[in-house]
Structure 1
Amino acid sequence: MTAYRLKSIDEQEKIHLQAWANQQVQATKKRGKRDVPVFDTFGKFFNKKKLEETVLGVKEEIPKFVNS
C-alpha cells in the first residue's frame, strides 16, 4: 500500500509539473506596446543537451576571461 501511495505522489508531481510548464510556455512580457512570448523557441524553454550532460557528468568548459 505504501508503494501505491508513493507512486500516486509521483503522478501528482508530474501533473503539477505539466501545469507549471504550460504556464511558463504561455508567459509573455511587454516589448513596447506588444506582448511577446518569454520563450520564443522550445530550445530556450527546455535545454535537453544541457540536462543530459549534467546527468552524464560531462564537465562544462570554464569560460576564459579576457583581461581588460
Structure 2
Amino acid sequence: MKAYQLARVDKEYEMHLQAWLNHAVTATKEQGNKHVPIYKSFKDFYDYEKELKKIEQPKQSILTPHQRKMAKLAAMVNKERG
C-alpha cells in the first residue's frame, strides 16, 4: 500500500510540474505598450541538446576545502569501523 501511495505522490508531482510549465511557457513581458512572449521558441524554454551534453560529459566536481576535510574525516571513521 505504501508503494502505491508513493507512486501516487510521484504522479501528482508530475501533474503539478506540468501545470507549472504550462504556466511558465505562456509567460509574457511588456515591451512598450504590448505584451510579448518571454520564450520565442521551444529551445529558449528547454534546450534538449544542452541537457544531453550535461549527462554525456559531466563536469568534474571541485571540492571545497571544507568538503575535502569532511571526506578525509569520513574515510578515517570508515577505516576504523572496517
Superposition TM-score, scaled by structure 2 size: 0.66
| Residue deviations 1:2-53 (CA, integer Å, cap 9, x gap) | 1111111110111011101110111000001110000010000011111112
Q: Structure 1's 16 and 31: CA in aligned 2 closer, same or farther, altered over 3 A?
A: same
What does residue range 1-68 of structure 1 map to in structure 2 within 5 Å? Answer: 1-59=1-59
Gaps of 5+ in 1: 60-68
SS in 1 for 2:39: coil
Between structure 1 and structure 2, the one with the greater Rg is: 2
Q: Answer 1 or 2: higher relative contact order, Cα 8 Å, separation at least 6.
A: 1
TM-score, normalised to structure 1, is: 0.78
Matched positions, count: 59
Counting aligned pairs with the same residue, the percent is: 37
For the residue of structure 1 that corresponds to 2:22, the secondary structure is helix
**RMSD value, Cα:** 1.2
Whole-Å separation in 2 of the counterparts to 1:50 and 1:13 = 24
